[in-house]
Amino acid sequence: MSAPAETPERTAFYAKIDKQNLTPLWTVLGALITPEPRSACVPFVWRFDEIRAAMIEAGGLITAKEAERRVLILENPGLRGQSKITTSLYAGVQLVLPHEVAPAHRHSQSALRFVLEGSGAHTSVDGERTEMQVGDFVITPSGAWHDHGNHTDKPMFWLDGLDIPLIQFLDASFLEHGSADEQTITRPLGDAPARFGANMLPVDYHPAKMTSPIFNYPYARSREALETMRRSQEWDPCHGLKMRYINPANGAHAMPTIGAFLQLLPKGFATARYRSTDATVFSVVEGHGISHVGDTTISWGPKDTFVVPSWKPVTHEASEDAVLFSFSDRPVHEKLGIWREDRGNA
Give the footprint of ligand 1HN on this chain (CB under 6 A).
69, 71, 92, 94, 102, 111, 146, 148, 160, 162, 164
Q: Parallel, antiparallel, or unpaired for β 146-149 and 101-107?
A: antiparallel
Task: Give the shortest CB-107-to-ligand 1HN separation in angstroms.
Answer: 6
**Chain residue at closest Cβ approach to ligand 1HN:** 69
DSSP H or E segment with residue 318 = strand 314-318
Closest to ligand 1HN by CB, 159 vs 293, is: 159
Shortest reach from residue 312's CB to ligand 1HN, in Å? 26
Rounded to whole angstroms, the Cα distance separating 53 from 104 reads 27
CB of 81: closest distance to ligand 1HN in angstroms? 16
Please give the C-alpha separations between residue 283 and each of 26, 117, 200, in angstroms, as whole numbers: 42, 13, 30
Q: Which is closer to ligand 1HN, CB of 148 or CB of 275?
A: 148
Sheet hosting strand 322-328, strand order edge to edge: 44-46, 305-308, 280-286, 322-328, 259-265, 241-244
Angle at 216 between CA 330 and CA 251, to 5 degrees: 45
Taking the least distance from each CB to ligand 1HN, the nearer of 75 and 160 is 160
- CB nearer ligand 1HN, residue 104 or residue 307: 104
Sequence-separated (6 or more) residues with CB below 8 Å from residue 23: 14, 17
The nearer residue to ligand 1HN, 43 or 92, going by C-beta atoms, is 92
Q: Supply the DSSP symbol for 230.
A: G
